[in-house]
Structure formats: structure tokens, C-alpha cells
Amino acid sequence: MTRTPYHNREVSVTKIFTFDSAHRLDDYVGKCANLHGHTYKLEVTIKGRTDLRGIVVDFGDIKQIVNEQIISKYDHRFLNDLMDFHTTAENMVFHFFQLIDTYLGQIADSSPCRLMRVRLWETPTCYAELTREDYDAAE
């Protein structure tokens, strides 16, 4: 295999997903206390050093993790029935970060990489974000 001139360089990669779910916010006064739905957009950013081919992590591996751990469980579902916490974007982004972080560490063929950021868009103008730094500080 020919080594790329960009071998062993620190690079961040991001993959974006969408899914549709319904929820309501309990213990909340306002419109969101009523049943409603969102088309969520989930951005997953991973950082690491490029391997001999110039790859940090295979986008297919990211897709597999997110599809198995998030999309297949929460797409077209009522989130309040599935989550044992208030279904705010802030709580959900923390939960999704934990899931992705756990399963990213189990990818056998990937070079060492770390989940750096998860951003969950609830609407086209509103999102919650959790970074590695904030996640690690919360532990």
C-alpha cells in the first residue's frame, strides 16, 4: 500500500443523520408540553490521526453505530415511551453522546479516534451540542 502524504495527520470528520420522532415535555408550561414531532438532525464529529490510507474512521462505521444505536430505536417513535428522562434536546444529546462514544471504542478496524462533538438539531434554527471537553468535565 502506498502511504498518503497526509498520513498521521490530526483531522476531524463529521457525519450527519436525520430521524423523525414525537415527544412532549413533561413538567413544562408551554406549547411543547403537548404532543408534537420533530425532524431531528444529528451531527457526529470524530477526531483522530489519519492512517496510511489517509482515513481517520470509516464513515460506514459511524453510520453503522448511529443507525443501530439511535436511528433504529428512535426513528418514528414516541420518545417519552423509550427514554427514562425528560426528552429535551439537552438530555438527548448527552444520551446520544454516551451511546456513540461507547460503541466507537468497539470498532476493531479503526485507528485510534475520539468522539469530539455531537450536535442535535431539534428544528432548523435550534440545537443542543455536547463536546468532548464538556462531556469529560461532567464525569
Name the active-site residue from 32, 43, 86, 129: 32
- Does 76 qualify as catalytic in the annotation? yes
What angle (nearest 5°) sits at the alpha carbon of residue 130, between those of residues 79 and 38? 30
Residue 58 to residue 110: CA distance in whole angstroms: 7
Name the active-site residue from 23, 95, 113, 122: 122
Name the active-site residue from 36, 68, 76, 90: 76
- Does 38 qualify as catalytic in the annotation? no
- Residue 95 and residue 118 in contact, taking contact as beta carbons nearer than 8 Å: no
- What count of Cα atoms within 13 Å lies in the side-chain half-sphere of residue 120? 22
- Does 68 qualify as catalytic in the annotation? no
| 8: phi then psi, degrees, rounded to nearest 5 | 65, 35
- The catalytic residue positions are 32, 76, 122
